[in-house]
Structure 1
Amino acid sequence: MRVLLLLLTFVFTSHTLSAQVLTSKSYENGLVVSAEKHASEIGRDILKQGGNAVDAAVAVQFALAVTLPRAGNIGGGGFMVIRLADGETTTLDFREKAPLQSYRDMYVRNGEVDSDLSWEGILAVGVPGTVDGMVKALERYGRMPLDVVMEPAIRLAREGYRLSYTQANDLNNHRDTFKKYQASAKYFTTGDTTLFKEGDLFVQTDLATTLERIARFGREGFYSGPVADAIVREMKRYRGIIEYKDLREYESVWRDAVTTEFMGYELHIMPPPSSGSVAIAQILEMIEDYPLKEMGHNSAEYVHVVAEAMRRAFADRAYYLGDPDFVDIPMEQLVSESYNNQRMESFSADTVTPSSSLSHGDIPGYSESSQTTHYSVVDADGNAVSVTTTLNGSFGSHVSVSGAGFLLNNEMDDFSAQPGEPNQYGLIGAEANAIEPGKRMLSSMTPAIVTKDDKVDMILGAAGGPRIITATLQSFLNRAVFDMRPMQATAAARFHHQWLPEVLFFGDFGLSPDTRALLEAKGHRLFPMPGIGRAHNIYRNDDGLWTGAPDPRADGSAEGY
């Protein structure tokens, strides 16, 4: 029932496209595209002061923790993809972990999954990874000291900023849930019967103090000392299970990117526990031999073949993918040409392959063991960074840390609470993504950097739960296959299929009535879903300049010089 309600929320929530035209300025020296104007401006200013793309990315992350509390965070986690001008490519996994006291069936009550426990409240919280990740990235690749890149975020938190209409509305919409938790009621409601309104000054003094501790002491300013004390106190207040040992032992991890080729482009994508890399690599392998451009953008023929590839990739996602430190993922086979050709043998141009008859593929020898935010950065030297970060649901668990001023995530919902049972986004999981102490939960976040002729050509990513994967895929295909201009490639209507539920979702103005009729004749069950992801991309123009493409479905901002 909760999955249905979540889907209906997407349908009836207004995501009207802004009046932003499908053009954008181009910049020679550096560019930041994020979901919030203050954060993009802060990143741009760091670049102008001589910082590189990693310095700017870290500054943007901490700024978003102040100005975008529904998704920007220090109480959550995420992924970073880095491509340096000299060709070095790496990724940083700062995804949250399951607490050491967690166990496989912790959300099962009387034989059934109680999904509310993994979605809201203290038991939904995974061990945060954002602060460790930002510090680690800056130490390895940054030019500027931590206190310098954090200073703008600290100032914003202490002095405050004026709420936009969307920011005020977001806070007001979650008011009743915030009031369940003492600290959240203090930080994110007005404290009386009034509501926030556009233009209100939003000050976060306790968060400013927390950020100052991080700026001074690095990761120890968060994972030990007064902030760690405050987190553990909050756990005890509501009977949570994160302890000092969880915080002390948390480590983000450097991983090799998943690289796949398509039409002369190389895509460098965050590897598992991000599922997007494998899914996109599989989909591209499955559709590569089809005449996509001749079919026409969002034609019935095009949507059908891409959606059927999506269906197969998400079926494999459900079965094979999890934390690579805990499960053996058959990566080489999953992304191979031969395997994906086999997966499409059951494809018919005339009719759908029912999800009920389409399970995961067979790999011999193998056995089982949505609110996010994305930002893209490029600097004058050509270094590029793609980051997706999240609390999971909007405002995460809705539990804030008293005295520290920040929200905690609800990432535990991204585990398979019980194999075969859907999570809040309708995604099915298996043993590979079952809960284990210290394990990272599977994610749909898909930061990616695309190169052509060994030069960065696109910096891609999106927010929006499982729709992140398909939004990022279509941002790439729109440019690579259909030669769309940057803003067109980002703004074009999208579609989404995730195997289960057996529904082909389509976005605003995406499919004509004739196209929908043709797809329904092939057996597709169509369902309108406004938005389908919020992408914040950067593209290189033919003249070598950078163009920012913030998604017009949201309040994103491109700031360069």
Structure 2
Amino acid sequence: MKKNQIIAVLSFLLVLTSTVVTAQTYAKNGMVVSSSKIASEVGRDILKKGGNAIDASVATAFALAVTLPAAGNIGGGGFIVYLDSSGSATTIDFREKAPLKASSDMFLDASGNLPKGIDLRGRESTINHIGLKSVGVPGTVAGLYLAHQKYGKLPWKELVQPAIDLASTGFELSYALYQTALSIEKKSNIPFLKDYFKNEKGEIVGFGELWQQPELANTLIAIRDRGRDGFYKGKVAKEIADFMKENGGIISKKDLQKYEAVERKPIEGSYKDYTIYSMPPPSSGGVALVEMMNLMELANLDSIPFNSTAYTHLLAEVMRRAYADRAEHMGDTDFNLNSPIKKLTSKEFAKSRFNNIDMSHASISDSTAFGQLYDGESTTHFSVVDKDRNAVSLTYTLEHSYGSGMGSPKLGFIFNNEMGDFNPIPNKTTTRGLIGTKPNLIEPEKRMLSSMTPTIVAQNGKPYLVIGSPGGRTIINTVFQTTLNVLGYNMPIKKAIEAMKIHHQWLPDRVVYEYDLLSPDTRRTMEQMGHKMVPVRNLGVLMGILIDTENNVLIGASDSSSADGGAKGH
């Protein structure tokens, strides 16, 4: 056998072995899938006590604030998509807001440029992601409280208490968290973050040792006893405002008092006989997801093998079009009242977009027209289904990993750096991905645009697939591909999560791909068609539940790229 033939065979075997499907988790009475096994267990135990999917979600979210500090949070914000067993869908928007003192040019220097600085990892970054001015007014506590007040079943205190116990008693530090702690100690330039994983002796908590967070426990106690007011009023709010004032931030007590989470009508679309429910603006995820699923519905997937060159090229072109529309039109619709959501999610619009796809050549991304906005990489998602088949898809974030890296030592949690998700320079769009379109410019009390895409797919009016992912700018595309894998290619949930994924965001004009899952031949052919191919190890950290309605069984799966993630059912 010739050398090039041997290489081809080995490459093929590598693709096969890289897509082996590991065990799924099965249950009948409830399922929680998150990036922390401990938090999943907390949510599962709430279901065992008779709580519903909203109750389990609230408890899981607060537990993640203890066990997943890079993304689980009470210092950030996010979204809930909820579909009850009767087929009624709604969403809760608890995205962060710009403070009252914010302005469209708040990060620019005297020459109108966006300066750079050093971020929490000691790397160069633009200043809209650095320091306390980058912090948006947190929304997580308000969002969880609103969801519970409207749709919860068990008492609020019972849902917050497990997180308090984890923070006060402690939990065994995982190997992944221990490695992160060592890295932070070595690289971080922020005192609060450098001390975050240290014990009373000033030493980093070791792998397998108990990590206790007494200050966070006290903050959670205030939330347990006073609900949303335990965070947005009283001692916690005063300490947040004082800390901001003393350290260059602009969030005030008035910002905290005025913050409200909002219930919104979901983005609704369809793919064949399935109904798709996802998040509306200020998330761009739902609109882009439905637009891309509409485009793929027009393709004949029976003639497009999964992972083939035709499949990969078509995905890239579909993504390019949806992200261009995202950049031009998407923003907080409380401010951007003319956003053409109905048009972008229509079947007719999809036909016009699909008809100009050339299956033999890559399109061109023109930075003089539209662009792409960036979202953070420290996001987490979890999915929940209860015994009555109420379903929750929840994604929340701190923006970058560990957010701003800053927080009051008296409160024990980390603030987001979500202001970096606004367009920082008005009217400036570049081929490198900087966007200056009006819908997402900074304004006081405006919610910054997001890529988070918590999604629930229904079949015959009942929850069928609950899915979501972290991954910043890649979230929409990883959720899109996983949903397509299940609905279009009939994959089991675990295989759909682990399967090869790509990402194209219009600008920069490139296809990011998982290098050990895409064949070398496909990569070369894509390059010949005009695509710039950029390899990465992994895209997305998906957490999903598929409901086998015929056998009334819940099938849960967590992405193998999540070191501490897991599905827990009963």
Q: What does residue 206 of structure 2 align with?
A: 197
Q: Summarize deviations over 1:70-97 as a string: whole Å, max 9, x none.
A: 0000000000001111111100000000
CA distance change for structure 1 residues 387 and 20 in 2, over 3 Å: closer, same or farther?
farther
Q: TM-score, normalization: structure 1?
A: 0.92
Q: What does residue 457 of structure 1 align with?
A: 464
SS of the equivalent of 1:309 reads helix
Q: What does residue 209 of structure 1 align with?
A: 218
Q: What does residue 467 of structure 1 align with?
A: 474
Paired AA for residue 450 in structure 1: V
Q: What does residue 5 of structure 1 align with?
A: none
Whole-angstrom CA distance in 1 between matches of 2:202 and 2:303? 58
Paired AA for residue 220 in structure 1: D
2:517 to 510, 517, 537: 510
Q: Summarize deviations over 1:293-345 as a string: whole Å, max 9, x none.
A: 32111211011112101001101111100001000211111112222222233
Q: How far is 1:550 from its partner?
A: 0.4
Task: Verify: 1:133 aligned to 2:136, yes or no.
Answer: no
Q: How far is 1:529 from its partner?
A: 1.4
2:190 to 180, 192, 209: 180
Whole-angstrom CA distance in 2 between matches of 1:410 and 1:96? 10
Q: Summarize deviations over 1:3-50 as a string: whole Å, max 9, x none.
A: xxxxxxxxxxxxxx9999523121110000000011000000000000
Q: What does residue 309 of structure 2 align with?
A: 300
1:410 to 408, 417, 441: 417
Q: How far is 1:469 from its partner?
A: 0.4
Paired AA for residue 99 in structure 1: P
8 Å CA contact retained: 1:172, 1:196: no
SS of the equivalent of 1:26 reads strand
SS of the equivalent of 2:196 reads helix
Write out aligned runs for 1:420-431 (5 A): 426=433, 428-431=435-438
- Percent identity of paired positions between Structure 1 and Structure 2: 43
Paired AA for residue 240 in structure 2: I
Q: What does residue 449 of structure 2 align with?
A: 442
8 Å CA contact retained: 1:97, 1:438: yes
Paired AA for residue 471 in structure 1: T
Q: How far is 1:191 from its partner?
A: 8.2
Whole-angstrom CA distance in 2 between matches of 1:357 and 1:63? 42
SS of the equivalent of 1:474 reads helix
CA distance change for structure 1 residues 312 and 133 in 2, over 3 Å: closer, same or farther?
same
8 Å CA contact retained: 2:47, 2:53: yes
Task: Verify: 1:50 aligned to 2:81, yes or no.
Answer: no
2:399 to 372, 387, 392: 392
Q: What does residue 8 of structure 1 align with?
A: none
Whole-angstrom CA distance in 1 between matches of 2:406 and 2:174? 23
Whole-angstrom CA distance in 2 between matches of 1:480 and 1:538? 14
Whole-angstrom CA distance in 2 between matches of 1:515 and 1:207? 49
Whole-angstrom CA distance in 2 between matches of 1:40 and 1:436? 37
SS of the equivalent of 2:322 reads helix
Q: How far is 1:544 from its partner?
A: 2.4
8 Å CA contact retained: 1:47, 1:53: yes
Write out aligned runs for 1:518-557 (5 A): 518-541=525-548, 542-555=550-563, 556-557=565-566
Q: What does residue 360 of structure 2 align with?
A: 350
2:350 to 327, 340, 344: 340
8 Å CA contact retained: 2:367, 2:429: no
Whole-angstrom CA distance in 2 between matches of 1:113 and 1:492? 38
8 Å CA contact retained: 1:169, 1:196: no
CA distance change for structure 1 residues 191 and 156 in 2, over 3 Å: closer, same or farther?
closer
Count of residue pairs the alignment pairs up: 535
Task: Verify: 1:488 aligned to 2:501, yes or no.
Answer: no
1:324 to 327, 333, 336: 333
Q: Summarize deviations over 1:89-138 as a string: whole Å, max 9, x none.
A: 10000000000000000111122112532212111100000001111111
2:157 to 147, 162, 170: 147
Whole-angstrom CA distance in 1 between matches of 2:479 and 2:364? 25
Whole-angstrom CA distance in 2 between matches of 1:38 and 1:321? 36
Whole-angstrom CA distance in 2 between matches of 1:344 and 1:427? 26
SS of the equivalent of 1:86 reads coil
Whole-angstrom CA distance in 2 between matches of 1:360 and 1:286? 19
SS of the equivalent of 1:240 reads coil
Task: Verify: 1:278 aligned to 2:283, yes or no.
Answer: no
8 Å CA contact retained: 1:460, 1:536: yes
Q: CA RMSD in A?
A: 2.1
Q: How far is 1:185 from its partner?
A: 3.7
Q: What does residue 77 of structure 2 align with?
A: 77
SS of the equivalent of 1:404 reads coil
Paired AA for residue 554 in structure 2: W
CA distance change for structure 1 residues 508 and 536 in 2, over 3 Å: closer, same or farther?
farther
CA distance change for structure 1 residues 22 and 453 in 2, over 3 Å: closer, same or farther?
same
Whole-angstrom CA distance in 1 between matches of 2:499 and 2:435? 28
Whole-angstrom CA distance in 1 between matches of 2:140 and 2:211? 23
Whole-angstrom CA distance in 2 between matches of 1:420 and 1:178? 34
Q: How far is 1:66 from its partner?
A: 0.3
SS of the equivalent of 1:387 reads strand
Larger deviation, residues 389-398 vs 186-195 = 186-195
Q: Summarize deviations over 1:478-500 as a string: whole Å, max 9, x none.
A: 11111111110111121110001
8 Å CA contact retained: 2:381, 2:394: yes
8 Å CA contact retained: 1:316, 1:359: no
Whole-angstrom CA distance in 1 between matches of 2:173 and 2:567? 19
Q: What does residue 35 of structure 1 align with?
A: 35
SS of the equivalent of 1:221 reads helix
Whole-angstrom CA distance in 2 between matches of 1:379 and 1:193? 42
Task: Verify: 1:103 aligned to 2:103, yes or no.
Answer: yes
Paired AA for residue 294 in structure 2: E
Q: What does residue 433 of structure 1 align with?
A: 440
8 Å CA contact retained: 1:18, 1:554: no
Whole-angstrom CA distance in 2 between matches of 1:234 and 1:177? 24
Structure 1 residue runs without a partner (length 5+): 1-16, 362-369
8 Å CA contact retained: 1:32, 1:377: yes
Structure 2 residue runs without a partner (length 5+): 1-16, 117-125, 372-376
Q: What does residue 269 of structure 2 align with?
A: 260
8 Å CA contact retained: 2:503, 2:512: yes
Q: Summarize deviations over 1:492-513 as a string: whole Å, max 9, x none.
A: 1211100011110101422101
